[in-house]
Structure 1
Amino acid sequence: MKTTEESKDAASEPILKIGHVANILGVPTARIRAWESESLITPYRTESGQRRYSVHDVKQLEKIQKLLDSKSTTFLGVRTTLAIACAEHNDDLPSHDMRGFVGQRVKMLRQRQRMSLRDLSTAVKISPSALSAFERGLSRPSTGRISRIAHVLGTTVPELLGMGRPKDQIIVRVDNRELLPLNDEGVRIELLYRTTTVLQSQCITIEPGCGLLEPITHTGEDFVTVVEGEVDVILDSIDVFHLDQGDSMTFPSTRAHGFQNRGSRTTRLVWVNTPPTF
Structure 2
Amino acid sequence: MSSTSSPNRPDEPVPKSATDAAILKIGHVASIVGVSTARIRLWEQERLITPLRTESGQRMYSMQDVKRLEKIRKLLESRSMTVVGIRQALDGDVEDDAPPAEDDIGAIGARVKELRRRNRMSLRDLSQEIAVSPSALSAFERGLSKPSIGRITQIAHALGTTTPELLGMPASEDRMIVRADEREVLPLEAEGVRIENLYQSSTVLQSQMVTIEPGFGSGEPMTHAGEEFLTVVAGSVEIVLDGVETVSLATGDSMTFPSTRPHTYANHGTVTARVVWVNTPPTF
TM-score with structure 2 setting the length: 0.63
Q: Which amino acid aligns with 1:188?
A: R
CA offsets, 1:107-127, max 9 Å, x none? 111111122222111111111
Q: Could you say which residue in structure 2 is the equivalent of 1:230?
A: 236
Residues 197 and 96 (structure 1), Cα distance of their counterparts in 2 relative to 1, 3 Å cut: farther
| Distance in 2 between residues matched to 1:200 and 1:143, nearest whole Å | 16
Q: Is the aligned partner of 1:154 residue 2:146? A: no
Instruction: Show the 5 A alignment for 1:211-230.
Output: 211-230=217-236
| Distance in 1 between residues matched to 2:275 and 2:136, nearest whole Å | 32
Q: Could you say which residue in structure 1 is the equivalent of 2:108?
A: 102
In the alignment, which of 78, 91, 114 is matched to residue 83 of structure 2? 91
Q: Could you say which residue in structure 2 is the equivalent of 1:113?
A: 119
Q: Could you say which residue in structure 1 is the equivalent of 2:191?
A: 185
Q: Could you say which residue in structure 1 is the equivalent of 2:208?
A: 202
| Distance in 2 between residues matched to 1:233 and 1:253, nearest whole Å | 12
Cα deviation, residue 177, structure 1: 1.1
Cα deviation, residue 220, structure 1: 0.3
Contact kept in structure 1, 2:231 and 2:253, CA below 8 Å: yes
Q: Could you say which residue in structure 2 is the equivalent of 1:240?
A: 246
SS in 1 for 2:220: strand
Equivalences, count: 189
| Distance in 2 between residues matched to 1:161 and 1:126, nearest whole Å | 20
| Distance in 2 between residues matched to 1:255 and 1:179, nearest whole Å | 26
| Distance in 2 between residues matched to 1:220 and 1:239, nearest whole Å | 19
| Distance in 2 between residues matched to 1:258 and 1:120, nearest whole Å | 21
Instruction: Show the 5 A alignment for 1:1-278.
Output: 91-92=83-84, 95-278=101-284
Cα deviation, residue 213, structure 1: 3.1
Q: Which amino acid aligns with 2:109?
A: G
| Distance in 2 between residues matched to 1:135 and 1:202, nearest whole Å | 27
Cα deviation, residue 159, structure 1: 0.7
Contact kept in structure 2, 1:142 and 1:183, CA below 8 Å: no
CA offsets, 1:15-53, max 9 Å, x none? xxxxxxxxxxxxxxxxxxxxxxxxxxxxxxxxxxxxxxx
Q: Could you say which residue in structure 2 is the equivalent of 1:41?
A: none
Q: Which has the larger radius of gyration?
A: 2
SS in 1 for 2:209: strand
Whichever structure has more helix as a proportion of its residues is 1
CA offsets, 1:230-270, max 9 Å, x none? 11111111111111111110000011111111222111000
| Distance in 1 between residues matched to 2:144 and 2:214, nearest whole Å | 29
Cα deviation, residue 92, structure 1: 4.7
Contact kept in structure 2, 1:234 and 1:241, CA below 8 Å: yes
CA RMSD of aligned residues (A): 1.6
Gaps of 5+ in 2: 1-81, 86-99
Q: Which amino acid aligns with 1:148?
A: Q
Q: Which amino acid aligns with 2:161?
A: T
TM-score with structure 1 setting the length: 0.65
SS in 2 for 1:190: strand
Contact kept in structure 2, 1:118 and 1:128, CA below 8 Å: yes
Cα deviation, residue 228, structure 1: 1.0
Q: Could you say which residue in structure 2 is the equivalent of 1:49?
A: none
Cα deviation, residue 181, structure 1: 2.0
Q: Which amino acid aligns with 1:220?
A: G
Q: Which amino acid aligns with 1:262?
A: H
Contact kept in structure 1, 2:237 and 2:250, CA below 8 Å: yes
SS in 1 for 2:83: coil
Contact kept in structure 2, 1:218 and 1:254, CA below 8 Å: yes
| Distance in 2 between residues matched to 1:259 and 1:119, nearest whole Å | 27
Q: Which amino acid aligns with 2:156?
A: A
CA offsets, 1:111-170, max 9 Å, x none? 111222221111111111111111111111111111111001111111100111242122
Residues 234 and 183 (structure 1), Cα distance of their counterparts in 2 relative to 1, 3 Å cut: farther
Gaps of 5+ in 1: 1-89
User: What stretches of structure 1 move > 6 A for 4+ residues in a row?
Assistant: none
